[in-house]
Amino acid sequence: MSPFVGGMQFAIEACTKYSQDRVQFGKPINSFQAIQHKLADLKIIQEAAKMTVYRVAHDKDSGKPLNHMHTSIAKAIVGDWGMKAASDAVQIFGGYGYIHEYPIERFLRDAKLGQIGGGTSEMQRFIISRILSYF
Ligand SMILES: Cc1cc2nc3c(=O)[nH]c(=O)nc-3n(C[C@H](O)[C@H](O)[C@H](O)COP(=O)(O)OP(=O)(O)OC[C@H]3O[C@@H](n4cnc5c(N)ncnc54)[C@H](O)[C@@H]3O)c2cc1C
């Protein structure tokens, strides 16, 4: 899960710089509130993903038994919120976000794996709801 959190850091840095450099209507696009909110959402999602992943990693390092609820929550946040972050990142880049010449389209494809690999988002919800039902 941590590579996805690292990917979000890359996206935050790339989007921050691009939105400072890209000028539309005579202003850098990061002066527009719609872009500012997307940047803020990227940071919010990355912090939430980081905290939940760290919780699982900390428990593992401490020798505690795997907490399936915590693990599935972390995986679901990294996967599903990570996809929102990736989609917003592409949106900030506009058309340049879509083409291969800029690295951000790769981020979108990589983020999608977070919803599929190592247990799909559907399976994480299955695990979470099953634990909720049993306890
Ligand atoms: C780049 C990449 C790297 C990978 N690396 C590895 C690896 O190193 N090791 C490894 O073991 N696997 C690896 N995988 C495989 C990955 O774990 C599987 O693709 C993933 O578990 C989903 O399985 P599937 O593709 O068979 O999809 P399916 O099981 O066919 O699922 C298709 C869709 O149906 C949903 N679905 C299936 N069953 C249910 C259900 N009961 N209830 C609700 N929804 C359901 C799924 O959530 C998904 O949305 C990798 C995949 C990719 C793309």
Q: Is this model's pTM higher than 0.85 or not?
A: yes
Distance 22 CA to ligand 1 centre (A): 38
Which residue of 83, 106, 113, 120 sits with most ligand 1 atoms within 8 Å of its CB, as the best mutation to test the pocket?
A: 120
Q: How many C-beta atoms lie closer than 10 Å to residue 18's C-beta?
A: 21
Distance 7 CA to ligand 1 centre (A): 21
- Residue 134 has what pLDDT? 86
Q: Tell me which residues of the chain have a pLDDT lower than 70.
A: 135
Q: Is 114 helix (H, G, I), strand (E, B) or coil?
A: coil
Share of the chain above pLDDT 70, in %: 99
- In CATH terms, the fold of domain 2-134 is Butyryl-CoA Dehydrogenase, subunit A; domain 3 (1.20.140)
- Residue 2 has what pLDDT? 80
- Residue 14 has what pLDDT? 97
Which residues line the pocket of ligand 1, CB cutoff 6 A?
A: 113, 116-118, 120, 122-123
- What residue spans define the domains of the chain? 2-134
Q: Find out whether 39 and 19 touch, Cβ atoms under 8 Å.
A: yes
Q: Give 5-65 as a DSSP string.
A: HHHHHHHHHHHHHHHHH-EETTEEGGGSHHHHHHHHHHHHHHHHHHHHHHHHHHHHHTTPP
